[in-house]
């Protein structure tokens, strides 16, 4: 019950778009968690004729092996969400720690970290990720690690800037003059201010990670036996002449629709949360 | 004065622009009335006079027939510089002739009018055609043939049939020009593959190549001078375009196609529909677009490209058990693979290995109809429970085959882990023997059946072409006898027996051979034909010549 109040408060703070985004996101998360109850066909074994159109026993039709697409999409949501969540948490936490450390500590360690961040930002991520994915082998864990490795710099920069500003605040200075330790100040005074900003950038990262996982899978660098949405799209596009046949209307379209829904719901939610976390954005 | 002058000038400008605008308008109107073909697009068959016109076409000179095909860079067309895949090989063969050619039913006399096998199959005497001209109009003679074979000893060409007999000094003892039009090959003993080996070696002009020490880097215009029906008149590596023109003084059947052009296309079906290319392969699902339409003719290609499952006999000794291999053969539903992955444009693999479209296919070998129950029973009798294997596959379609096999074998109680790596890593790991079961796909299933020997005879150490660790004395015996047999009928009987033996023993499992469909417009050109052992219409030299 105690959760209801903040949720209610947040709900009120959202715009219509934000609310729609949140609803879709909750629905998709529900879909991923309840996948075994929502589907009535196996998701990695054929259960019907190949390339059956939507309808009947197959809500969204089947792919060329005869595997039910609705089941694949429900279970595929797990892959996309795990990748999004995993990358966001890893990169958000890592980037947050690096940013706080750099901002609070200052000096040569800050300069070194900032140059590292600069390098990470100019590095063309997709080509390097393609190389890394090919090099480390393509398992889900590796993909999350590689994605996190390439996205921590974004939250780190934002957090550092915020820490730099907060460090100069009078109450922080006073706390320090009373002899408060670095950890105390970080946890007591900085963290509450940083969390909303970090949360917003993590939502952005999640959206980015989901799209990147899909594009890696689409390029054939995903875990080929997992059934992520990107991989369904990859298989569909590898089907020769799919655009000349009616098959793209379900095999290609539905995973694309769900991918788009997930990413845009994250984007809508992220925009609203950003406004809440930093009221200046709303004014500007 | 000055101001007035400027004004006048400005008026002139306006008038000029206006005039230009008018002329543009007029031009546009003209274009609208009579559509001009866009640059690069196919001219809507200017070279297709109605059949009547051709028959009585003595008065008007015939328009050159231009055939356009899908391009792509396959290397410079000398025998030493093209890429070692079908499209590269056949372009080179348009320029270079050989003693024999591959026809629809078998080898046909080409530069050699006839030949004799003497001395118990040890000596071959080829009688050359007279009056054959190189593209620079010098005459091709026996000296050129002898030179070519000797040159290949030192400088192997990219593609060579049965190079192991042609380039083995222990086997090919001597090549001599008996007269200007006769060549004699002396070998160490009878070998069934020697005739195609000598017959299909490309003949290169002595007066050009005797001065060339590094043929791989010889990229002059002379490097693509042969005595074949076409001359290379344009090549762009960057764009992947080629242009071939018929050679007027060709000795043999008249080239029906005057100009062959290879143009870049992004999607071959789309390009064919727009008329940018004149022949294309079409996925089975797109066939309805071309069926029941007299404008198009469809041919089903023979199944000489295929996938097979290979076992690593040295890594896992279980595979030495013939019953286990038979159980695997029963547990795999080849028909389902044909329908789902091959989309129906394929034929199930022959347990006797050769493709079912091979000219020497033995239709009476034992078949392993899909029967997971029987596979289970065999495994129970053999006390093999809880089997689990790793299957190495490449990418894309091969992953799908792997997934389907996993599902099928699970029904017989065999667990499969599919491991997917990119194509080159897969090939490399097979070459090093780093796999348990692997899936490989390749062409050449219609070629000389001696590949049964090079794949399954004992003591072969090459992981890629052979099967290390596999022993079957019956197979060894038959493989040895067929290669020594130069009488075609007797050899055919031996190959039939060999297939029987292999089908019983299941040293590997051919999954399916893809057929696929080729579509063309017969009104524009209808000379397309297959070679007896090859799957592509455009790769046959006879397709372009007045042969039928």
pLDDT digits (tens, 9 = 90+) for B28-39: 433 333 333 333
Q: Is B47:B66 a contact under the CB 8 Å cutoff?
A: yes
Range of the domain at A192: 15-42+60-277
Whole-number Å distance between alpha carbons of A96 and B541: 67
On chain A, the residues whose CB falls within 8 A of the CB of B343 are 64
SS3 B498: helix
In a domain, B252, yes or no: yes
In a domain, B346, yes or no: yes
In a domain, A78, yes or no: yes
Q: Is B209:B224 a contact under the CB 8 Å cutoff?
A: no
Tokens found for residue B167: 């380039």
The CB-based long-range contact list for B296-299 (8 Å cut-off, 24+ gap) reads B296/B519, B296/B520, B296/B521, B296/B522, B297/B519, B297/B520, B297/B521, B297/B522, B297/B526, B298/B517, B298/B518, B298/B519, B299/B517, B299/B518, B299/B519, B299/B528, B299/B530, B299/B537
Tokens found for residue A25: 């996101």
Query: Which residue in B282, B289, B340 is closest to A64 by CB distance?
Result: B340
ipTM: 0.76
Contact check, Cβ <8 Å, A225/B340: no
Element (H, E) at B163: helix B163-166
Is the pLDDT score of A245 beyond 50?
Answer: yes
> The sheet that has B415-420: what strands, in order across it?
B346-348, B508-514, B305-311, B437-443, B388-393, B415-420
Q: Does B416 touch chain A (CB under 8 A)?
A: no
Query: Which residue in B285, B340, B400 is closest to A235 by CB distance?
Result: B400
Residues B191 and B256 in one domain: yes
* Per-residue pLDDT at B54: 42
Residues B354 and B459 in one domain: yes
Residues B209 and B329 in one domain: no
Residues B431 and B466 in one domain: yes
DSSP state, residue B85: S
On chain B, the residues whose CB falls within 8 A of the CB of A225 are 399, 403, 418, 420
Contact check, Cβ <8 Å, B283/A241: yes
SS3 B518: strand
Q: Does B339 touch chain A (CB under 8 A)?
A: yes
Is the pLDDT score of B6 beyond 90?
Answer: no
- How far is the CA of B219 from the CAs of A80, B80, B216, in angstroms? 52, 10, 8
Degrees, nearest 5: CA angle A197-A203-A208:
125
- How far is the CA of B206 from the CAs of A147, B168, B397, in angstroms? 60, 21, 46
Tokens found for residue A272: 């609203």
In a domain, A283, yes or no: no
- B207: nearest Cα among B123, B136, B149, B154: B136
Residues B352 and B337 in one domain: yes
Contact check, Cβ <8 Å, A245/B286: yes
Which residue in B333, B391, B407 has the most chain A C-beta atoms within 10 A of its own C-beta, making it the best mutation to test that interface?
B407
Whole-number Å distance between alpha carbons of B231 and B95: 6
Q: B237-258: buried (b, 16+ CB within 10 Å) or exposed (e) per residue?
A: eeebbbbbbbbeebbbeebbbb
> Where are the strands (E) in B230-278, listed by range?
230-236, 241-246, 259-263
- In the numeric block, the tokens 């060409």 are attached to B157
- How far is the CA of A162 from the CAs of A155, A166, A197, B449, in angstroms? 11, 6, 9, 75
Closest-CA distance of chain B to residue A223, Å: 9
* Per-residue pLDDT at A125: 76
Tokens found for residue B249: 């003084």
Q: B211-232: buried (b, 16+ CB within 10 Å) or exposed (e) per residue?
A: ebeebeebeeebbbbbbbbbbb
Lowest mean pLDDT across B47-56, B194-203, B379-388, B485-494: B47-56
Residues B450 and B527 in one domain: no
* Per-residue pLDDT at B60: 57
CATH of the domain at A248: 1.10.3720.10
Domains contained in chain A, number = 1
Q: How far apart are the first and last CA of chain B?
A: 84
In a domain, B146, yes or no: yes
On chain B, the residues whose CB falls within 8 A of the CB of A44 are 403
Is the pLDDT score of B14 beyond 60?
Answer: no
Whole-number Å distance between alpha carbons of B376 and A262: 45
Is the pLDDT score of A200 beyond 90?
Answer: no
Closest-CA distance of chain A to residue B396, Å: 7
Which residue in A130, A241, A249 has the most chain B C-beta atoms within 10 A of its own C-beta, making it the best mutation to test that interface?
A241
Residues B526 and B420 in one domain: no
Q: How far apart are the first and last CA of chain A?
A: 36
In a domain, A249, yes or no: yes
Return phi, psi of residue B385, to 5°. Answer: -110, 155
Query: Which residue in B283, B286, B400 is closest to A65 by CB distance?
Result: B400
Number of neighbours of residue B446 by Cβ within 10 angstroms: 25
Enumerate chain A positions whose Cβ falls within 8 A of a Cβ in B: 44-46, 50, 64-66, 134, 220, 224-225, 235, 238, 240-241, 244-245, 247
Closest-CA distance of chain A to residue B257, Å: 29
CA B535 remoteness from chain centre: 6
Q: Each residue of B199-256: pLDDT tens digit?
A: 999 999 999 999 999 999 999 999 999 999 999 999 999 999 999 999 999 998 999 9
Question: B443 or A90, which is more confident?
Answer: A90
Percent above pLDDT 70 for chain B = 89
On chain B, the residues whose CB falls within 8 A of the CB of A224 are 395, 399, 418, 420
Dump the DSSP string for A114-175.
Answer: HHHHHHHHHS-HHHHHHHHHHHH---HHHHHHHHHHHHTHHHHHHHHHHHHHHHTSHHHHHH
Q: Does B522 touch chain A (CB under 8 A)?
A: no
Q: Is B230:B94 a contact under the CB 8 Å cutoff?
A: yes
* Per-residue pLDDT at B351: 94
Q: Each residue of B50-75: pLDDT tens digit?
A: 444 444 444 556 789 999 999 999 99
Give the mean pLDDT of chain A.
Answer: 85
Whole-number Å distance between alpha carbons of A138 and A29: 24
DSSP state, residue B430: H
Chain B: residue whose CA lies nearest to A233: B396
Q: Is B138:B205 a contact under the CB 8 Å cutoff?
A: yes
Q: Is B542:B103 a contact under the CB 8 Å cutoff?
A: yes
- B164: nearest Cα among B368, B462, B363: B462
Indicate the pLDDT class of residue A129, thresholds 50, 70 and 90.
Answer: confident
Contact check, Cβ <8 Å, B339/A245: no
* Per-residue pLDDT at B13: 55
Contact check, Cβ <8 Å, B269/A220: no
Query: Which residue in A45, A50, A238 is closest to B397 by CB distance?
Result: A238
Contact check, Cβ <8 Å, A64/B339: no
Question: A55 or B273, which is more confident?
Answer: B273
Pairing of strands B346-348, B508-514: antiparallel
Tokens found for residue A35: 């996948």
Range of the domain at B96: 32-54+62-261+518-544
Closest-CA distance of chain A to residue B492, Å: 38
Query: Which residue in A65, A238, A241 is closest to B403 by CB distance?
Result: A65
SS3 B186: strand
In a domain, B363, yes or no: yes
Average pLDDT of span A33-58: 85
Closest-CA distance of chain B to residue A160, Å: 41
* Per-residue pLDDT at B440: 92
Number of neighbours of residue B450 by Cβ within 10 angstroms: 20
Q: Is B74:B88 a contact under the CB 8 Å cutoff?
A: yes
Whole-number Å distance between alpha carbons of A138 and B395: 12
Q: Does B418 touch chain A (CB under 8 A)?
A: yes
Query: Which residue in A45, A66, A245 is closest to B285 by CB distance?
Result: A245
Dump the DSSP string for A12-45.
Answer: HHS-HHHHHHHHHHHHHHHHHHTHHHH--S-SSS
CATH of the domain at B327: 3.10.105.10
Indicate the pLDDT class of residue A279, thresholds 50, 70 and 90.
Answer: low
Number of neighbours of residue B9 by Cβ within 10 angstroms: 10
Residues B143 and B193 in one domain: yes
Contact check, Cβ <8 Å, B403/A238: no
Indicate the pLDDT class of residue A3, thresholds 50, 70 and 90.
Answer: low
Element (H, E) at B346: strand B346-348
Dump the DSSP string for B16-58.
Answer: HHHHHHHHHHHHHHHHHHSPPPPTTSPPSSTT---HHHHHTTT
Whole-number Å distance between alpha carbons of A118 and B234: 49
Chain A: residue whose CA lies nearest to B404: A65
Whole-number Å distance between alpha carbons of B430 and B432: 5
Q: Does B399 touch chain A (CB under 8 A)?
A: yes
Contact check, Cβ <8 Å, A244/B269: yes
Q: Does B344 touch chain A (CB under 8 A)?
A: no
- pTM, entire model: 0.77
Number of neighbours of residue B196 by Cβ within 10 angstroms: 23
In a domain, B189, yes or no: yes
Contact check, Cβ <8 Å, B404/A45: no
The CB-based long-range contact list for A242-251 (8 Å cut-off, 24+ gap) reads A244/B269, A244/B285, A244/B286, A244/B289, A245/B285, A245/B286, A246/A53, A247/A51, A247/A64, A247/B285, A249/A53, A250/A53, A250/A54, A250/A60, A250/A61, A250/A69, A251/A51, A251/A61, A251/A63, A251/A64, A251/A69
On chain B, the residues whose CB falls within 8 A of the CB of A45 are 407
Give the mean pLDDT of chain B.
Answer: 86
Q: How many CB pairs under 8 A join A and B?
A: 47
- B301: nearest Cα among B516, B540, B542, B446: B516
In a domain, A200, yes or no: yes
Q: B126-154: buried (b, 16+ CB within 10 Å) or exposed (e) per residue?
A: bbbbeebebbeeeebbbebbbbbbebbee
CATH of the domain at B205: 3.40.190.10
Q: How many C-alpha atoms does B181 have within 13 Å on its Cβ side? A: 11
Tokens found for residue B468: 């290390």
Query: Which residue in A64, A65, A241 is closest to B286 by CB distance?
Result: A241
Domains contained in chain B, number = 2
Q: Does B99 touch chain A (CB under 8 A)?
A: no
Number of neighbours of residue B504 by Cβ within 10 angstroms: 16
Contact check, Cβ <8 Å, B283/A64: no
Average pLDDT of span B95-109: 93
On chain B, the residues whose CB falls within 8 A of the CB of A49 are none
Helical H runs in B341-422?
A: 372-381, 397-410
Indicate the pLDDT class of residue B449, thresholds 50, 70 and 90.
Answer: very high
Return phi, psi of residue B156, to 5°. Answer: -65, 135
Is the pLDDT score of A1 beyond 60?
Answer: no
Query: Which residue in B283, B285, B404 is closest to A65 by CB distance?
Result: B404
In a domain, A265, yes or no: yes
In a domain, A47, yes or no: no
Contact check, Cβ <8 Å, A241/B269: yes
Residues B536 and B403 in one domain: no
Residues B439 and B459 in one domain: yes
Whole-number Å distance between alpha carbons of A216 and A230: 8
Query: Which residue in A45, A46, A238 is closest to B396 by CB distance?
Result: A238
Whole-number Å distance between alpha carbons of B235 and B243: 6
Return phi, psi of residue B242, to 5°. Answer: -135, 155
Whole-number Å distance between alpha carbons of B47 and B306: 37
């Amino acid at each position: 019950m105690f959760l209801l109040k903040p949720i209610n408060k947040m709900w009120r703070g959202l715009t219509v778009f934000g609310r729609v985004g949140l609803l879709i996101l909750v629905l998709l998360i529900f879909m991923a968690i309840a996948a075994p109850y929502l589907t009535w066909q196996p998701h990695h074994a054929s259960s019907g004729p190949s390339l059956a159109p939507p309808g009947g026993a197959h809500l969204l039709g089947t792919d060329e092996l005869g595997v039910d697409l609705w089941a694949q999409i429900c279970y595929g949501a797990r892959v996309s969400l795990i990748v999004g969540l995993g990358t966001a948490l890893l990169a958000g936490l890592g980037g947050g720690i690096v940013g706080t450390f750099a901002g609070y500590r200052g000096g040569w360690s800050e300069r070194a970290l900032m140059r590292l961040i600069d390098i990470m930002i100019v590095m063309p991520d997709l080509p390097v990720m393609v190389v890394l994915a090919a090099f480390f082998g393509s398992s889900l864990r590796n993909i999350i690690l590689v994605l996190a490795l390439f996205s921590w710099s974004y939250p780190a920069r934002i957090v550092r800037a915020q820490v730099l500003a907060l460090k100069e605040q009078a109450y922080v200075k006073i706390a320090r003059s009373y002899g408060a330790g670095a950890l105390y100040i970080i946890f007591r005074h900085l963290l509450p201010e940083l969390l909303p900003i970090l949360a917003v950038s993590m939502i952005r990262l999640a959206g980015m990670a989901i799209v990147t996982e899909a594009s890696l899978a689409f390029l054939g660098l995903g875990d080929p036996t997992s059934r992520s949405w990107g991989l369904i799209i990859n298989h569909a596009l590898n089907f020769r002449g799919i655009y000349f046949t009616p098959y793209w209307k379900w095999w290609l379209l539905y995973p694309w629709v769900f991918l788009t829904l997930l990413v845009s719901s994250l984007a809508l939610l992220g925009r609203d949360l950003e406004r809440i976390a930093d009221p200046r954005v709303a004014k500007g | 004065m000055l101001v007035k002058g400027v004004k006048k000038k400005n008026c002139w400008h306006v008038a000029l622009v206006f005039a230009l605008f008018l002329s543009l308008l007029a031009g546009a109107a003209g274009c609208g009335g009579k559509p001009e073909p866009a640059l690069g697009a196919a001219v809507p068959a200017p070279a297709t006079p109605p059949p009547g016109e051709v028959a009585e076409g003595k008065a008007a000179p015939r328009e050159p027939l231009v055939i356009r095909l899908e391009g792509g860079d396959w290397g410079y067309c000398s025998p030493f510089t093209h890429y070692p895949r079908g499209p590269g090989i056949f372009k080179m063969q348009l320029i270079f002739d050989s003693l024999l050619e591959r026809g629809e039913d078998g080898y046909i006399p080409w530069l050699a009018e006839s030949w004799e096998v003497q001395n118990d199959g040890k000596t071959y005497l080829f009688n050359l055609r007279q009056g054959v001209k190189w593209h620079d109009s010098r005459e091709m003679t026996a000296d050129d043939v002898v030179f070519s074979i000797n040159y290949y000893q030192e400088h192997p060409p990219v593609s060579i049939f049965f190079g192991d007999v042609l380039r083995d000094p222990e086997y090919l003892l001597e090549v001599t020009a008996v007269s200007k039009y006769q060549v004699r090959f002396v070998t160490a003993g009878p070998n069934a593959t020697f005739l195609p080996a000598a017959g299909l070696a490309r003949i290169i002009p002595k007066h050009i190549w005797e001065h060339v020490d590094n043929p791989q880097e010889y990229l002059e215009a002379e490097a693509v001078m042969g005595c074949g029906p076409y001359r290379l008149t344009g090549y762009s590596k960057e764009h992947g375009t080629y242009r071939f023109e018929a050679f007027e003084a060709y000795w043999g059947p008249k080239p029906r196609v005057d100009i062959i052009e290879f143009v870049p296309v992004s999607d071959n079906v789309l390009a064919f529909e727009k008329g940018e290319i004149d022949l294309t392969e079409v996925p089975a699902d797109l066939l309805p677009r071309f069926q029941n339409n007299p404008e198009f003719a469809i041919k089903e290609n023979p199944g000489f490209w295929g996938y097979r499952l290979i076992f690593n006999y040295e890594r896992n000794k279980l595979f030495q058990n013939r019953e286990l291999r038979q159980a695997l053969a029963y547990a795999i539903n080849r028909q389902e693979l044909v329908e789902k992955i091959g989309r129906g444009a394929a034929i199930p693999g022959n347990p006797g290995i050769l493709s079912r479209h091979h000219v020497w296919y033995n239709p009476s070998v034992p078949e392993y109809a899909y029967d997971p129950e029987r596979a289970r029973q065999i495994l129970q009798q053999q006390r093999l429970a809880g089997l689990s294997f790793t299957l190495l596959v490449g990418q894309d379609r091969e992953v799908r085959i792997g997934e389907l096999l996993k599902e099928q074998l699970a029904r017989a109680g065999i667990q499969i882990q599919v491991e997917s790596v990119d194509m080159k890593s897969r090939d490399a790991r097979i070459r090093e023997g780093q796999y348990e079961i692997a899936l490989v796909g390749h062409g050449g299933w219609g070629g000389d059946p001696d590949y049964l020997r090079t794949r399954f005879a004992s003591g072969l150490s090459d992981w890629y072409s052979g099967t290390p660790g596999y022993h079957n004395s019956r197979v060894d015996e038959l493989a040895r006898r067929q290669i020594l047999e130069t009488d075609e009928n007797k050899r055919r009987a031996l190959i039939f027996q060999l297939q029987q033996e292999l089908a019983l023993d299941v040293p590997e499992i051919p999954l399916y051979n893809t057929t696929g469909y080729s579509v063309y417009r017969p009104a524009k050109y209808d000379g397309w034909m297959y070679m007896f052992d090859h799957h592509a219409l455009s790769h046959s030299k006879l397709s372009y010549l007045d042969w039928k």
